[in-house]
Chain A
Amino acid sequence: GAVVSQHPSRVICKSGTSVKIECRSLDFQATTMFWYRQFPKQSLMLMATSNEGSKATYEQGVEKDKFLINHASLTLSTLTVTSAHPEDSSFYICSASLGSGGTYLTDTQYFGPGTRLTVL
């Protein structure tokens, strides 16, 4: 159980275009989803926390107008990279949490397989 999928797994786009990445919890409802960015040989950097039905909370330094996050349902969150540039090329990973903030004691985050974005 607790499977998280991402689509697409890889995407190549031209500079200036927008790219949408989907994150789905396949067999559970996720009130909270997280978006991370990972540069080669580096750790994951939390970009934003996405809560179903409300605005995402962005980490300091992350441009909310550039990285649009929508969490329209309990099983789907999307990250849209608007007007992508080569420096946005990265590995984007989402994760989903089984419980709400009130059950943080035993919550585990389940990670998607990641999306490799290459901006030419």
Chain B
Amino acid sequence: AQSVTQLGSHVSVSEGALVLLRCNYSSSVPPYLFWYVQYPNQGLQLLLKYTTGATLVKGINGFEAEFKKSETSFHLTKPSAHMSDAAEYFCAGKNTGNQFYFGTGTSLTVIP
């Protein structure tokens, strides 16, 4: 079955430090991959997505992710963490049936 795995349910970084949130996908055919952010008691906001083409995808709020087929990975990064980045982050894939499957989420804490 197709799935995405997020390594690390909790990540803490200092303000200004690099943010790295890990996501690996499992599929014989690369799915379409997404990163969403969720703030408390809110829905999900799309950060970025990979469909085809350039493997380095830039999103909102300074985030980017690189699709690496050889590693079946789609890790999310941001060069410098801001306090407002503290939230829950979900990696998601979409199959040809137009259904999403979500990772278990990574809670990002930014330490001042």
Residues of A near any B CB (own CB < 8 A): 4, 6, 32, 34, 41-44, 46, 49, 91, 93, 95, 97, 101, 104-114, 116
Interface contacts (Cβ under 8 Å), in number, total: 59
Given the interface pairs A111-B43, A111-B44, A112-B43, the reply to whether A105 lies near B104 with Cβ below 8 Å is no
In the complex, whether B84 has a CB less than 8 A from a CB of chain A is no
Residue total for B at the interface (Cβ-Cβ under 8 A): 25
Our pick among B32, B52, B97 for the contact of A101 (Cβ within 8 Å) is: B97
Q: With the chains together, A41 CA to B34 CA distance in Å? A: 20
Cβ-defined contact, B98 with A104, below 8 A: yes
Q: Which residues of B contact A101 (CB under 8 A)?
A: 97-98
10 A-B pairs with CB atoms under 8 Å apart are A93-B44, A97-B98, A108-B34, A108-B46, A108-B49, A110-B46, A111-B43, A113-B43, A114-B41, A114-B42
Q: In the complex where A43-B104, A43-B105 touch, is A107 in contact with B98 (Cβ < 8 A)? A: yes
Residue of B nearest to A109 (CB): B100
Tell me if A105 and B43 are in contact (CB < 8 A): no
Contact A43 B34 (CB under 8 A): no
Given contacts A101-B97, A105-B32, 18 further A-B contacts (CB under 8 A): A4-B43, A41-B107, A43-B102, A44-B44, A44-B90, A44-B102, A46-B99, A46-B101, A49-B98, A95-B44, A106-B51, A107-B94, A107-B98, A108-B34, A108-B49, A109-B94, A110-B46, A113-B43
| Interface 0/1 of B49-66, CB less than 8 Å to A | 101100000000000000
Q: How far is the CB of A35 from chain B (nearest CB, A)?
A: 12
What is the distance, in angstroms, from A98's C-beta to the closest C-beta of chain B? Answer: 11
Shortest Cβ distance from B107 into A: residue: A41
Are B41 and A42 closer than 8 Å at their CB atoms?
no
A6 to B42, CA, bound (A): 11
How many whole Å from B33's CB to the nearest CB in chain A? 11
A57 to chain B: closest CB distance in Å?
9
